[in-house]
Amino acid sequence: KLNIGADTVQHGVEGLTYLLTESSKLMISEIDFQDSIHVLGFSDELNKLLLQLYLDNRKEIRSILSELAPKLPSYHSLEWRLDVQLASRSLRQQIKPAVTLKLHLNQDEDQIAQVLQTDPSTLLHLIQQLEQALGEMKTNHCRRIVRNMK
């Protein structure tokens, strides 16, 4: 319908995509955008159209780009059980408590599970460490940074 070869159309689309993603990525201002495309020598009307296209779609492009960053596995749920070992082949009359944990993680739309086992004193130590980590958020240093980010 445009009476041009398929290659030209493809290059045009790729060029536009590159222009919009780079501009959205760098979050450049209107004036900088206008200056940049002025160099290409298009008509004023086309420049205005491109600017409008950029401003309208900037936010959506940025939200799509933010999802492309690599992600570590994230927490989904935790199952646990508390067992007591009473006897084994080598030794009878024992009392050995153990906590078995199954950590369910989400990684890139898959679910993976990690099984861990620990004794109660290590578990208490783990809880203490995690509570200390949470407590770090309340220190002045962290509070200052959080305030500045807002």
Partner 1 sequence: MRFRFCGDLDCPDWVLAEISTLAKISSVKLKLICAQVLRDLLGDAIEYEKILKLTSDAKLESGDVKATIAVLSFILSSAAKHNVDSESLSSELQQLGLPKEHASGLCRSYEEKQSSLQDSLRACSLRLSQLGSVRWRVDYTLSSSELREVNEPLVHLVFNLRDGERGGMAAVPIAISADKFRVLLAELKQAQALMNTLL
- Output 38 or 81, the one with its CB closest to partner 1: 81
- Output 32 or 79, the one with its CB closest to partner 1: 79
- Output 39 or 84, the one with its CB closest to partner 1: 84
Cα dihedral 33→39→40→45 (10° resolution): 60
Quick check: 80 binds partner 1 (CB under 8 A)?
A: yes
Stretch that binds partner 1, among 14-22, 50-58, 83-91, 128-136 (CB under 8 A): 83-91
Residue list 91-150, contact with partner 1 (CB under 8 A) = 92, 100, 102, 113, 115
- Closest by CA to 23, choosing from 54, 48, 49, is 54
Q: How far apart are CA 133 and CA 77, in angstroms?
A: 20
Stretch that binds partner 1, among 38-46, 53-61, 82-90, 137-145 (CB under 8 A): 82-90
- Closest by CA to 33, choosing from 23, 44, 43, 48, is 23
Q: Do the beta carbons of residue 37 and residue 15 sit within 8 Å? A: no
- How many angstroms from the chain centroid is the CA of residue 24? 18
Residues binding partner 1 (CB under 8 A): 79-81, 86-87, 89, 92, 100, 102, 113, 115
